[in-house]
Chains A and B, each alone.
Chain A
């Protein structure tokens, strides 16, 4: 019986050892890139809502303050979705015949809630609190981007722990005066580090040890 494999099969085997290693490294890299990709994290993906509400029109053009609708953002851990009563405060008299408003009117009359689709979410083991952030000088646009320019809202930042740490380790780089928190067009000044360090002291922002403590965000 002759040999099954020709002599040069040895080379193939040797090469395939390296190819296998390379494939393994490649797979790890591809997985790493995939889980960090905007596709996996759903960043910059506009989320269509049941009602074509435009932040760009209401906040950007008309200048309605964030807190007019998201009343609880500076009082509670949760920034509320406005009740239909809030929508109807204006829309009982403005654009009353618009088909885009019709589902809101129906919800107001029947009491059936509108099922908005959640855009920004963190896992259940993260105890994020809106009020402490806005009251200590972290602006809306810091995490949500320029909502005033979004006709349809998308997530702009990766809501992952590493990203949270960017600020929790260096709050002075991101803090702004309280009066500018709801200013969507705020641009940090050139001397942000100096201004920020003063504001961190003035607003009594917790120490970096405390800000990076597990129990600050996890219970």
Chain B
């Protein structure tokens, strides 16, 4: 009799305090510390630095770990300070396809898809993009295009009314892609000045189809 009563009271106590567990469920909804953790993500502001930026600008003269030597043909397109008509690596169909893709993203905006120097963007302002099919640009070495993409174009006298007519794309297009674009521009030039003799004999019957 004694044991039975104590067992009942235990059960009754459990039932009586069962709502305490529910309180715990209420607490779970209030945890937001994981949503905004004590770490700084890209572009997140920070009060730690005076300018409020968590992403720090690169210190002048810093060298990226694993960065190439700057003064190579691959990175400048020049040998002994002279532009050379040569690629730093072999041109393959894959490279040209990559060049076409990158050209369409970054260059066609102004120079046009066919490289004629006409585009919807250029029409809107005083931009006069180069036509790649003019004789002057057909005669320049292929590394000329690499050099221009890397350094941009400056027009006029810097002390008077000079201005940067084309900005450098070095921060946007990586070195290999810049070369791929240069090779693709060469291919574009060839495409606009091709004759029947350039087509392999066994492919000629496909022409005009």
Instruction: List the interface of chain A (C-beta within 8 A of B).
Output: 61-65, 67-68, 71, 78, 80-81, 83, 85-86, 88-90, 92-96, 113, 118, 123-125
Contacts and interface: CB of A to CB of B under 8 A. Distances in A.
B126 A93 contact: yes
B171 A124 contact: no
B86 interface: no
B172 interface: yes
A179 to B, nearest CB: 9
B36 A124 contact: yes
A92 B163 contact: yes
Contacts of A63: 120
B121 A62 contact: yes
Given A64-B121, A68-B106, A125 B167 contact: no
Interface in B3-49: 34-37, 39, 41-43
A83 B168 CA distance: 13
Contacts of B166: 89
B35 A125 contact: yes
B167 A124 contact: no
Contacts of B126: 93-94
B192 interface: no
Given A61-B120, A118-B43, A124-B39, 9 more contacts: A63-B120, A71-B172, A81-B43, A86-B172, A89-B167, A90-B127, A93-B126, A113-B53, A124-B37
Contacts of B110: 90
A125 B109 contact: no
A94 B105 contact: no
Contact of A125 (B34, B43, B125, B164): B34
A68 B121 contact: no
B191 interface: no
Nearest to A86: B172
Nearest to A91: B125
B42 A78 contact: yes
A65 B104 contact: yes
Interface string B126-139: 11000000000000
Contact of A68 (B42, B109, B127): B109
Contacts of B37: 124-125
The residue among B53, B110, B126, B167 with the most chain A CB atoms within 10 A of its own CB is: B167
B105 A83 contact: no
Nearest to B34: A125
A215 to B, nearest CB: 16
Contacts of A65: 104-106, 109
B45 to A, nearest CB: 8
Contacts of A78: 42
B56 interface: no
A81 B120 CA distance: 23
Interface in B66-120: 104-106, 109-110, 120
B105 A67 contact: yes
A90 B121 CA distance: 8
Nearest to A115: B45
B171 A83 contact: yes
The residue among A61, A65, A80, A118 with the most chain B CB atoms within 10 A of its own CB is: A65
B125 A94 contact: yes
Contacts of B165: 93
Nearest to A83: B171
A93 B121 contact: no
Contact of B41 (A62, A80, A113, A124): A124
